[in-house]
Structure 1
């Protein structure tokens, strides 16, 4: 009995995904709930488990293909007697994932029509991917497969022999980049072309959309972190013992921003057509760097949470983000964002808005600097703050007021307790 493996529901507003990795190949035995492949969407990575135990008899959609929701990915033959996938006639040791592709599906990108006299068979999916990465076209590789089709080994052999594509045959750059000019041959051989992941392409598109759409402006200030650091040093041991989580700086910044957003609600609002939508809640986005790119999980109702609750939630979301386990719901609905470039050593920057939000606060490196306090020059741990905002909805006065209220709350944390 054959069982279908299909693309699961990907989440709200996500209709397609790219197959990033197959963990199994045709002929492999699989167990129920064992991971078969990994799908990459615009926002998260989704693992596809085996619906039943048996043998992976056929892979329908190869790595690199774009598939829609509920599209057929593979077939599993139940029972121990399931036959493995046949190997290539040309090579007994050819990899099973290099088998000829099936007839193109309606929702899959159509292949370029082949010219008269070219190979009759269709190249192996893994060979197509390897050729795209190497900048080679099909007619530059001598195929050894059945009917002259190109196999992955043929591409590897062509690359090792020094075959290179001409600039006209090289795949076009991503739409977000400026087309390149001619590249000297000695430079071209030292370059590597890697297709953008869906996450990276989405980040690029959204950031450019933010620049093109919003009237973005940034205002700066600096904060003396002495009071926060002293409070943290005094109570961090007791805090961790009671709540089971370390006291960091992010909970202070989240609390300070929630406090300031009450006074300047337009920073927590968004534009929807000809209307301004004011949020009577704070869903705080916290930017997190991952190996795949920047993601922004959301701490929902942060204004209703305690310091300990905020630290626990940020820690949990940060860990899930680095492991690629965030769900769609955990990254949607943010009303304001905090980005901490200081963890990478940034002294000052201008953060870009996370649409459709109207404000984002940039934190930076804490650095000892000489400042004047009561007429005396003293050394204090200082941090630059940057607020980027949409000037279509937030006036300069509101932006400066917001940043000053954040500064005041951090330099005198007791104000947060007294709601001052």
Structure 2
């Protein structure tokens, strides 16, 4: 047996959500064949089979949140049962749903599949395993009522754990006879949640389906193709699944796509129900309480961990951009004609930062336990904003590259980041980060460290301001610079010196050519 485990997902990424299994239990798989898609707050990642064989067990279901090195499933020897489940008679696999049958008994010859239950038989809905180290869950919401008709594999109840929200499907088609665990109750793995009376005769006309207009039926059809994580977001917030563009494999809608659609809806003014003329307006009508998404919880957790671990401090300076803007204006056409890329500001900042890092090496270092690791290479991370969040691809060995090569690489990273085509290895191993809030109009900020790095440079918008030049007042294009640093390893003198060197190199770009 060979374990399938969660791989390393990039710096500061410690967990992911199971997006979609591409294979089913009993399927034959080849070595390096994609098995399952993982979704993080940055990218979607396919996990490949570590060996050839049969997918004998799926340990983490779609929608679950898993940590690094968590067990996803196992691969065993054999030829497999085939995609159509022809060999399921000895394996306890439901041919209709490809999940272990609720009524199947171990053995083979005498087992009964859920789809073959006798009409009128009562079948229990039990709490499934929600992943390693998760032994209990809360009943989040019952999706059907007692007396409602459900089809096999229809979601009937939602469970919430500290890692993920999981929909529990109906083990058979029939009528929900009884709810054993009410909303808000805490249940353990294997507890009975409810009872379904199997059979079609009990009620084929589901009230919700007959009452819905045709337009809603189309949305419901689209919902059925979603994996549990994005489906829950769509259902809870009343989104139209057919209007969400999918960025996943084969156009599949991911959790990030659903969250992006939700943010778009949230930016529109809410239509509040007008109170009766004689009734006073209640405060609750002007407020809305929405549960924080798991993605946002993860982002908040990591940012707080960065502040908790490092002794973060920010120092500021400003830089006169006249010289850089003059060089750029004078040579931009010739530069683009020769190198095939526009001459921007980021190349100058990368080069200036490298010169400063050489003089103040502790800003390019990191702490590992009681040791300090000084980096004699300069892999500069460039923060890129996308619709799904901020990603930081790395320009490796930037000290060995010219302006044209740096600008080309940054431009390529920016395009692929917005298209969701960055690779994990392209976002790992940075020694220092530069972030440009000026593209959004920021005048000044205090960026948070990208752990385990010890420094991050914040650029801001260029704004014409009056400054003293000699004994005269001049109007110059000025930019505020911010350096956030880890005070455990970088002293105030080093941080200030670092920013002064960047200021000097940008205000006199010839210093970069002369290596001063």
Q: How high is the TM-score relative to the length of structure 2?
A: 0.58
Structure 1 stretches of 5 or more lacking a match? 27-31, 52-57, 90-99, 161-183
Q: CA offset at residue 262 of structure 1?
A: 1.1
Partner Cα distance (1:192, 1:113) in 2: 18
Q: Against the structure 1 CA distance between its residues 62 and 125, is the aligned structure 2 distance closer, same or farther, given a 3 Å change threshold? A: farther
The yes-or-no answer on 1:86 pairing with 2:71 is no
Partner Cα distance (2:14, 2:154) in 1: 23
Q: Against the structure 1 CA distance between its residues 235 and 125, is the aligned structure 2 distance closer, same or farther, given a 3 Å change threshold? A: farther
Q: Against the structure 1 CA distance between its residues 202 and 286, is the aligned structure 2 distance closer, same or farther, given a 3 Å change threshold? A: farther
Structure 1 equivalent of residue 433 of structure 2: 337
Partner Cα distance (2:506, 2:438) in 1: 16
Q: CA offset at residue 21 of structure 1?
A: 3.9
Structure 2 equivalent of residue 192 of structure 1: 290
Asked whether the equivalents of residues 133 and 193 of structure 1 are also in contact (C-alpha less than 8 Å), the reply is no
Counterpart mapping for 1:385-404 below 5 A: 385-404=481-500
Q: CA offset at residue 228 of structure 1?
A: 1.0
Provide Cα deviations, 1:177-230, integer angstroms capped at 9, x if missing partner.
xxxxxxx99359833324222xx4443333222322222221111111111111
Give the match's secondary structure for 1:139. Answer: coil
Partner Cα distance (2:511, 2:95) in 1: 69
Provide Cα deviations, 1:352-396, integer angstroms capped at 9, x if missing partner.
222222211110011111112232222111100011112222222
Give the match's secondary structure for 2:306. Answer: helix
The yes-or-no answer on 1:139 pairing with 2:210 is no
RCO higher in 1 or 2 (8 Å CA, sep ≥ 6)? 1
Asked whether the equivalents of residues 7 and 71 of structure 1 are also in contact (C-alpha less than 8 Å), the reply is yes
Instruction: Report the count of equivalent residues.
Output: 368
Q: Against the structure 1 CA distance between its residues 323 and 159, is the aligned structure 2 distance closer, same or farther, given a 3 Å change threshold? A: closer
Structure 2 stretches of 5 or more lacking a match? 25-29, 51-56, 89-93, 98-113, 116-124, 140-144, 167-178, 185-192, 200-205, 210-230, 238-281
Q: Give the root-mean-square deviation of aligned CA atoms.
A: 4.9
Partner Cα distance (2:311, 2:14) in 1: 31
Q: CA offset at residue 108 of structure 1?
A: 7.1
Provide Cα deviations, 1:391-413, integer angstroms capped at 9, x if missing partner.
22222221111111100111111
Counterpart mapping for 1:38-57 below 5 A: 38-41=37-40, 44-47=43-46
Give the match's secondary structure for 2:96. Answer: coil
1:227 to 302, 323, 332: 323
Asked whether the equivalents of residues 70 and 132 of structure 2 are also in contact (C-alpha less than 8 Å), the reply is no
Give the match's secondary structure for 2:326. Answer: helix
Q: Against the structure 1 CA distance between its residues 69 and 275, is the aligned structure 2 distance closer, same or farther, given a 3 Å change threshold? A: closer
Q: Against the structure 1 CA distance between its residues 308 and 78, is the aligned structure 2 distance closer, same or farther, given a 3 Å change threshold? A: farther
Q: How high is the TM-score relative to the length of structure 1?
A: 0.69
Q: Against the structure 1 CA distance between its residues 231 and 104, is the aligned structure 2 distance closer, same or farther, given a 3 Å change threshold? A: same
